[in-house]
Amino acid sequence: MLTESSTLTLTINGEERRVAFPTHHTLLEVLREECGLTGTKHGCELGECGTCTVLVDDKPVLSCLALAAEMEGRRIETVEGMQEANELDPLQRTFADLGAAQCGYCTPAILLTARALLDHNPDPTEAETRAALAGVLCRCTGYIKILQAVEGAAAIRRGEDWTPPDDVLYGDPPGTPTGPAAEDTANG
């Protein structure tokens, strides 16, 4: 069986890398198998779950649907490229501080998608954040900590002092009413 192969120079996380691969391979396959960048995860491989999201020219792209052969001359960023020197990106810090990741499988895609959002819109509303992250599915969380982490990272990136509110870290104090009755009481 004859397979056509490609040898290209790809710009990944700011570095040029010469890579040889079968021409039919996706960007996901090349990143993981040829480049050893395993932060990009295999999910559905149908473009439905978003777990394989990377940034290409600063925009979220489903790497399971993108052919690596079409990536020459484009800037590819994976989660491994978010950290600068020994400094975590504010998104990585707030996700860690708030426990926004459960199993962590979808986290690289969420981090990169959130980074693209914050690069484009430094002060997104919760609705804008939800819309941006809607393409990345997470089975472990209710997304609340993720939304709070993105909000915190946005504040840090804007140069604001940000610490999560105590209830975000520790929950409501004992005896605090919750549920619809508490909302009715709070709204008068």
pLDDT at residue 168 greater than cutoff 80: no
Mean pLDDT of 105-123: 97
Nearest-angstrom CA–CA distance, 165 and 181: 23
b (16+ CB within 10 A) / e for 34-46: bbebebbbebebe
* Residue 183: per-residue pLDDT: 56
| Residue at token pair 């710009």 | 11
In the chain, the N- to C-terminal Cα span, in Å, equals 74
Nearest-angstrom CA–CA distance, 16 and 37: 14
Domains (ranges, CATH) in the chain? 5-81 (3.10.20.30), 90-170 (1.10.150.120)
What confidence tens digit (pLDDT) does each residue in 5-45 have?
999 999 999 999 999 999 999 999 999 999 999 999 999 99
Confidence of residue 181 (pLDDT cuts 50, 70, 90): low
* Residue 173: per-residue pLDDT: 79
* Residue 5: per-residue pLDDT: 93
Centre a 10 Å sphere on the Cβ of residue 108 and count the other Cβ atoms it contains. Answer: 24
Note the pTM of the prediction, 2 decimals. 0.87
121, 129 Cβ separation under 8 angstroms: no
* Residue 48: per-residue pLDDT: 94
Q: Long-range contacts of range 103-107, CB-CB < 8 Å, 24 or more positions apart?
A: 103/139, 103/140, 105/41, 105/43, 105/51, 106/41, 106/43, 106/49, 106/50, 106/51, 106/136, 106/137, 106/138, 106/139, 106/140, 107/79
Reading the block at residue 26, the tokens are 């996706």
* Residue 124: per-residue pLDDT: 98
Reading the block at residue 9, the tokens are 């120079």
Mean pLDDT of 137-142: 84
